[in-house]
Every structure is written in C-alpha cells, then in structure tokens.
Amino acid sequence: MQYLPNIIFAIILFLGVGYFAKNIRKLIRNIKLGREVDASDNKAQRWKNMARIALGQSKMVKRPIAGFLHIIVYVGFIIINIEVLEIIIDGLFGTHRIGLEILPVAVYGYLIDAFEILAVLVLISVVVFWLRRNIIKIKRFLSSEMKGWPKSDGNIILYFEVVLMCLFLLMNATDTSFQDLNYGNIVTQFIAPWFSEVAPETLHMIERTAWWLHIVGILIFLNYLYFSKHLHILLAFPNTYYGSVEPKGKVNNLEAVTNEVKLMMDPDADPYTAPAETADDEVPAKFGASDVMDLDQIQLLNAYTCTECGRCTSACPANLTGKKLSPRKIMMDTRDRLEEVGKNIDANNGEFKDDGKQLLGDYILNEELWACTTCNACVEECPVSINPLSIILDMRRYLVMEQSAAPMELNNMMTNIENNGAPWPYNQMDRLNWKDE
C-alpha cells in the first residue's frame, strides 16, 4: 500500500503520454499523405527562421498588445512546466520537492519565485485574451468560420490555463513545509494566510489534491492539443523550419509544364527530337490539387499548425472588400478535410475508401479561390509561417488545367494569348498600333 500512489501515478503518466504518442503518430501519418517535397536547401536560413519566428516570437509583436500578452503566456507556460519534471520525479519515486535535495535552497527559491510571478502574469494575460474574445469581440474572432467548435476551443484553452495556474499557486500556498522555508513563495505567501484556520491534515489534503489535479490537468491538456488549434505550440517549430525561404512573389511552377512552354517558344526546337523528360520532369497524374492528397506535406503541416488567430484574414484585401475568401478558412478547411480522410483510413484498415468528397467543392468553393489577389498579405501576416496562398494557387491550377473552369475573363485572356500572342483581342498585326496614337 505504501507504493500504491506511485503505481497509480505511473499508470496515469503512461496512459497520458501513450495516448499523446498515438495521436502524434496519426498526425505524422496524415501529413505524409501529401506529396513529398525537398526542403533540404538553405538549412542555415531555416534554423534562423525557426529561432527567430517560433522561438523568438518575432512576428507576434507586429501587433503589440496581442503579441506581448502571447509572449507572457508562451514563456510563462513553458517555463512553469519545467516544474513538471520535479512533479514527475516526485510522483514516480515518492519524494517531495526533489529540487530542494538537488539545488541550494536559495536557487530553488529563485526558480519558484520566477514561476509564481509568471503564473500571475499568465492569469492576467489569459483574462485579457478572454475579454478580447467574448466582451470586446474583436472583429477577426467573429467570422463565420469561427462559430461553433472553433469559438469554444479558443475559450476552453483559456479556461485550461486558468485552472492549471490556479492549481499551481494553490499547491504552493498549502504546502506548509515549503512556506516555512520562506523561499520561492513571493506570491503564495499572500495566499497562504487564507488557510490559516484550516487543520493541518485538511491543509495537507488540499495540497495533495491540488498536486494531483495539476499533473493530471497537464496530461489532459497535452492530449487535448491534438484536437485543438493549440497544436501550434508544438508544430510552430517544424513549420517555421520548413517554411518557404524563396521570395514571396515567386510562384512554384510545374517543371514539366515549364519545359513544354520553353519548347513551344523556341523557334529552333524540334519537338520530335527533344530529349526525353527526366523522372523529375514527368507529367504529374493530376495538375494542381483538388483534395488534400494532392497537396504537399508542408502544406498539410501548415494546416495542422494554423493558430486560427485570423491575422491573415484581417489583412486580406479580398476579405476586407466583402469577398467570400478567408485565408484562415482555407487552412481550417484543409485541416478538417485531412482529419476526415485520416478517420476514413482508420475505419478501413489503413486504406482510403473513396467517400465521394474532396477539398475542392465540398469544403472550399471556386468563388473563394478566384477572389484571391495573390498579394501575399496572408503569408506576410502569419506569425508561424503558414502559406495559404500556395494551396489557393494549387487549387486554381487544378481548375484551369484539369477542368477549364477559370472565370470568363481569364478564359478570354488565355484565348487571346493563344491566338494573338497578347492578352488583348487584337490581331497580331495590330499589336503595336498603340504606339502610333
């Protein structure tokens, strides 16, 4: 019976970490449904981007209020959870505040002081975030795609953080041996007197309950991430590493199509004697993308990394003028469809069974795609290097090259280029008449 709490703790820890690992394997499986892409170039720049954007939060502070508050929550939550290491050791081996046995009391006290200050700052930041979402009602949180589960998810994570921070402070405030040290209780020394009339046995029970709820809450939070937009806590790092290092205006062309165009424009080329295409230049089975399996793995990683912050949509000129396009919705729809495909595979013994659906049409409409001005504002604004434009362009490519479903204006322009060598409906002999006017 002496070791029963340790055994229970080990079982809870094993189940929590095991379920998380299972979902991470599923996530990796889903991302690998996309096309492979070579991102082995510019490694130094990629590491720099990850350090600057994901770790340094450099793009968050472009909007100072939200950026500063997010940094507090980000730093506070990560650093405070360093104490989770101590809790895990205590839980497995039956010790109590093992840090006091390893570190000098003053050093341990400084660490816990920092944790307590950060816990209070996190609580303040979370309250402000909740007010911005639910009372002030900032416009970018009110879009149609943010109703239902996305709205609830944004609030649930805030409640999680409040509960975890409060349990951390309660655990410290009711730990009499810790309070007696008078080190590390910079905040909880003011909370501890609230329990001065409580019997020692009851106080110990409160401390133990807060301790257990804190670690169980962290494990629940860890597993909640997979189902939440807060998966970006983990994925922001690989996403910023694998993000594009090319100039934003550069469009990713299909090599096979580019070679074909070059051949057509070369007056000395003989298409019958042109060298055979290499394996890398083979004509793809499908031009562009109509479903998530047609996208590449980085685009699918983008979808899972989306924070649903709405910065992309709030900067989109098409959205600002009332068009249907919302770059955030593009990413959310891609993730939802990918999850649907993943569940289909799980239900069919590892194989995808055609469900009669696809990303284009069932989730994302043609109207949304053609509203995009390709200005890259969404790409520039994203705080974790997500590229909604790349998905939009791939789906447009499918519409044009596979379905000939471009808008009438574009079809007219392409017909004019084909027939007249220019976008305008003038005979080739008359193309330069404008200079005589």
What is the domain-level CATH number for residue 386? 1.10.1060
With respect to residue 160, please indicate whether it lies within any of the assigned structural domains: yes
CA distance 345 to 272: 44
**Whether residue 314 sits in one domain with residue 224:** no
* Residue 100 counted as domain residue: yes
Note the pLDDT of residue 272.
59
* 312 and 219 within one domain: no
- Asked if residue 429 belongs to a domain, the reply is no
Q: What is the pLDDT of residue 279?
A: 45
Asked whether 421 and 366 are in contact (CB, 8 A), the reply is no
Q: Distance (Å, rounded) from C-alpha 20 to C-alpha 14? A: 10
Read off the tokens for 274: 């042109």
Among 242, 267, 295, the domain boundary falls at 242
Q: Do 25 and 130 have their domain in common?
A: yes
Judge whether 236 lies within some domain. yes
- At 3-29, the pLDDT tens digits run 899 999 999 999 999 999 999 999 999
Cβ-based burial of 231 (10 A; exposed 0-12, middle 13-18, buried ≥19): buried
Count how many Cα atoms sit within 13 Å of the Cα of residue 123 in the half-sphere of its side chain.
15
Across the range 95-113, mean pLDDT stands at 92
Q: Which residue's structure tokens are 């609230």?
A: 194
Q: Give burial (CB, 10 Å; 0-12/13-18/19+) of 307.
A: buried
Among 93-102, 262-271, 357-366, which stretch is predicted with the lowest mean pLDDT?
A: 262-271
Which residue type sits at 11?
A: I
Does the residue 434 lie in any domain?
Answer: no
Are residue 289 and residue 235 in the same domain, yes or no? no
- Would you state the pLDDT for residue 325? 96
Residue 278 has pLDDT above 70, yes or no: no
Mean of pLDDT values over 93-108: 92
Is the pLDDT confidence value at 271 over 90?
no
For residue 194, being part of any structural domain is answered with: yes
Residues 168 and 56 in one domain: yes
Q: Same structural domain for residues 63 and 180?
A: yes
pLDDT band at 260 (very low <50, low <70, confident <90, very high): confident
Q: Nearest to residue 53, comparing CAs of 314, 229, 238, 298?
A: 238
Tens digits of per-residue pLDDT, 168-198?
Answer: 999 999 999 999 998 889 999 999 999 999 9
Query: Does the pLDDT value for residue 249 go beyond 90?
Result: no
How distant is the alpha carbon of residue 279 from its chain centre? 34
Structure tokens at 215: 């670690």
47: pLDDT strictly greater than 60: yes
Lowest mean pLDDT among 118-122, 216-220, 257-261: 257-261
Examine the fold and report which residue of 192, 224, 242 is the final residue of a domain before the chain moves on.
242
Asked if residue 288 and residue 217 are part of one domain, the reply reads no
Q: Are residues 193 and 308 in the same domain?
A: no
CA 83 to chain CA centroid, nearest Å: 26
Q: Domain range spanning residue 171?
A: 4-242
Q: pLDDT at residue 406 above 80?
A: yes
The three-point CA angle 162-19-125 to 5° equals 15
For residues 360 and 306, membership in a common domain is answered with yes
- What's the mean per-residue pLDDT of the chain? 90
Q: How many domains does the chain have?
A: 2
Written in H, E and C, the secondary structure of 188-254 is CCCCHHHHCCCCHHHHHHHHHHHHHHHHHHHHHHHHHHHHCHHHHHHHHHHHHHHCCCCCCCCCCCC
Q: How many residues are listed for the chain in this entry?
A: 437
**Looking at the domain assignment, is residue 264 inside a domain?**
no
Residues 303, 389: one domain? yes
> In whole angstroms, how large is the CA radius of gyration of the chain?
28
- H helices of 243-326, in order, are 255-265, 297-305, 311-315, 317-320
Do 166 and 65 reside in the same domain of the chain? yes
At 410, the pLDDT band (50, 70, 90 cuts) reads confident
Structure tokens at 28: 């990796």
Banded model confidence at residue 273, pLDDT cuts 50, 70, 90? low
C-alpha torsion sign, points 286, 289, 291, 292: positive
Q: Is 265 or 296 the better-scoring residue by pLDDT?
A: 296
| CA-based torsion, 356, 358, 360, 361: positive or negative | positive
Long-range contacts of the stretch 160-164 (C-beta < 8 A, 24+): 160/217, 160/220, 160/221, 160/224, 161/73, 161/77, 161/122, 161/126, 162/123, 162/126, 162/127, 163/217, 164/214, 164/217, 164/218, 164/221
Q: Read off the CATH number of the domain in which 128 is found.
A: 1.20.950
In a domain, 346, yes or no: yes
| pLDDT over 70 at 333, yes or no | yes
Q: Which of 242, 269, 292 finishes a domain?
A: 242
Mean pLDDT of 145-153: 93
Residue 179 and residue 185 in contact, taking contact as beta carbons nearer than 8 Å? yes
Instruction: Output the six-digit token pair for 239.
Output: 């996403």
- pLDDT above 90 covers a percentage of the chain that reads 73
* pLDDT, position 269: 67
User: Is residue 62 located within the same domain as residue 183?
Assistant: yes
